[in-house]
Chain A
């Protein structure tokens, strides 16, 4: 293969020992790569659901890829904590721990669920598109505002909740 092409195709895996991620005084994540300050960066998951802390893309604020961190656990403890905190903030996918009711009203579905122990209501339209099985037993629900909710393992929620959700899962 042409050498320039292969350059373009090579995955830019960053060397974990050269990475230092820290927060600046304004609370933004700054990357130091081999001691060089790369400025503010944002992190993006390649496999957000099954590998949330592996293959993390590091991007500049202008969306240019700097490289990929294979696994956050390979970083120093401080960097790993900073990276995880940043990811938790960037991805807002609250986990549904319980489904209290799903009521259909004229083609729209009103969910009453529990998230972190507190009740939350949301509405879902076009349920066959907005309740998805992404991988086995992993469920994702999109509400009318564009919020996303997840149930990481359908088997781990209560039977009643499963029964409520089941008709919409196929």
Chain B
């Protein structure tokens, strides 16, 4: 027999430990690295069940013929959340073994740990961020940027030339001073009259200035154009990936985070490659030209200037590190104050209704005062430290004034040379300051890149089959032994087997959180079941192309989302290119036509965020028209009529009854009266099918459905 094992990390007393759970020769063996082990027989086990506690979990065995309250279960092991996925896989394989007698391999035995540093690898990032070299992050990004590289280099060369032309400007100045304005006795005069010399030099200066500017403009233009193209490429690549991801992957992130990935992170990456890449070239040129000229003019003075530079450079770097922490703190205090404000203003009705204005004012004042304190401390820090640290690097200038001045008086240096020296000195500080902020820019860009890789590397968990089959839906849906959990270790649905005949209307009922919506999510293949299969007309839905599958399924949700656009656009969303007549017919059948015709702009009425706001009932009817236009074989109604007033509901009921004709319908409704026409009702309780039957049959049974109906009658009596 094969051996199955999994690691766990908590002892029975709750302390951390290294333990291994093994299934071998029909025995579970629990052993601890620190010594000690015990074994439990596999025979007679009905189920291995994983329980999730708070911050930890446990795996228990349920034996045949033991009480339902679990008092005679056997606790195998306890574990922290770090092991939860692996233990979940283990119990899934054990349960499959119990059912089928076949022992499968566990897909993920080991916890994802970095082989170098032992740190836990973060889900969604294939490498250990601690050990990976920054080079990896950037070299991978180069592959996106490769096709723009020649242009960036070209733009960089133009910028380099432009900077070079600016860099020779002090040379002209020096010649002007030393040869014509205040000529030294041995100065060479290139022209017969000083005025002519001055004019020629001024013209040369003007020409190189103009040429430098023109080159600079060209360089910036190329760079801007590439920048926009590159960020457009990146945005589309990330957006495309997000759109194609399964709902499961998308829901791991908040909407805000995903939007940030597409807008902010792509922009940071673009700026880094485009702007900083260009600057890198030009700043290095400026640095070397200035250094060369300084040393060429006077090596002694140049050495004096260079001495304080490394010290100043590190002081600036350290200062930025400190200031960043301070400003991060300020930013957090600011967002806290803003979120309090946001909360209070958004919930102003509640605040007023409960008379809590005073305490809310106090809450905001505290947050605001905290922000003010941090901000003023930061300002103070900045004002006191920056002038010292930022200018330390330039301390060499004072040496130059003294030593340079002395050298001029002694005749070892000309005035022009001293002026030129000072000008190049100013040139030198610019690239140095830029370089001191470079580590931060690299860190920001690598953070954004890693976040983008996370999105780009996400596996499509819902994939189309290699040779997808066409769906000629007659509408027969079957669930076979389906099990599913949004988290692999927490099954939401268990042992779901259900056969729905073509044209049948099925009502799903049960308490909130019982798993009804999950069931229809599986039917639409927004998620794949972890065990079992779902078929439509005998074809596994995993073998059907997703687009084809969804073309055959129509959905009306409880919350209808209308996109920005006209009512026509929103109805035709189901079938782009539908004729105006088809849209009208669908709207008529959905009881939407009358209210739309009453709007001044009819079907051209703009709805959505900045448009005309429709009531809940109106939106619902637009959604039904949408579903009707699609003309699907299978229809899913998820609480389509809740939260509506009785009159509107009756109109919608009428529309729905037209909609469900000749279609297989799966409907969820809390208001049980809505499901009176259902051929069969399926009661879902704690993830399992608890009762099946017609309204009358289930009432007679006096089970869960009966209780639900009675509870609802009681509530309506209360009203």
Contacts and interface: CB of A to CB of B under 8 A. Distances in A.
A123 B118 CA distance: 12
Contacts, number: 122
A147 interface: yes
A92 B54 contact: yes
B28 to A, nearest CB: 15
Contact of B69 (A5, A60, A170): A60
A56 interface: no
A7 interface: no
Interface in A33-82: 39-40, 48, 60-62
Contact of B137 (A106, A115, A122): A106
A68 to B, nearest CB: 17
B75 interface: yes
A90 B449 contact: no
Contacts of A110: 119, 129-130
A167 B330 CA distance: 9
B54 A170 contact: no
Given A28-B71, A92-B55, A147 B15 contact: no
A170 B73 CA distance: 45
B54 A90 contact: yes
A48 B446 contact: no
Contacts of B370: 170
Nearest to A28: B71
Interface in A118-145: 118, 120-123, 125-126, 128, 143-145
Contacts of B450: 106-108
A116 B120 CA distance: 20
Given A92-B55, A123-B120, A168-B332, A39 B14 contact: no
Contacts of B10: 92
Interface string B462-475: 00000000000000
Of A104, A106, A128, A145, which is in contact with the most chain B CB atoms at under 10 Å from its CB? A106
Interface stretch (B79-87, B102-110, B356-364, B556-564): B79-87
Dominant secondary structure of chain A at its interface with chain B: mixed
Contact of B70 (A2, A5, A40, A106): A40
Size band of the A side of the interface?
Answer: 35 or more
B16 interface: yes
Contact of A39 (B55, B71, B257, B443): B71
A39 B81 contact: no
Most buried by A among B56, B74, B123, B451: B56
A110 B129 CA distance: 9
Interface residues of B, number: 52
B328 A144 contact: no
A121 B332 contact: no
A61 B257 CA distance: 38
A147 B82 contact: yes
A107 B53 CA distance: 29
Contacts of B71: 24, 26, 28, 30, 39-40
B120 A26 contact: no
B74 A123 contact: no
A151 to B, nearest CB: 15
B349 interface: no
A108 B73 contact: no
B14 A88 contact: yes
B447 interface: yes
Interface string B64-77: 00011111111100
Contacts of B257: 126
Interface in A141-170: 143-148, 166-170
A19 interface: no
Contact of A28 (B73, B119, B325): B73
A154 B16 CA distance: 24
A169 B73 contact: no
Contact of A106 (B54, B55, B446, B718): B446
A62 B685 CA distance: 11
B451 A166 contact: no
A122 B75 contact: no
A106 B129 contact: yes
B714 interface: yes
Nearest to A126: B257
Interface in B311-367: 325, 328-329, 332-333, 335-336
Contact of A146 (B67, B81, B447, B686): B81
Interface of B: 10, 12, 14-16, 53-56, 67-75, 78, 80-82, 84, 118-120, 122-123, 125, 129-130, 137, 257, 325, 328-329, 332-333, 335-336, 370, 374, 443, 446-451, 686, 714, 718
22 contacts: A2-B718, A4-B714, A27-B75, A28-B71, A39-B67, A39-B69, A61-B70, A89-B53, A89-B78, A91-B55, A92-B10, A92-B53, A92-B55, A106-B446, A106-B449, A108-B129, A128-B335, A145-B84, A147-B81, A148-B55, A167-B329, A170-B374
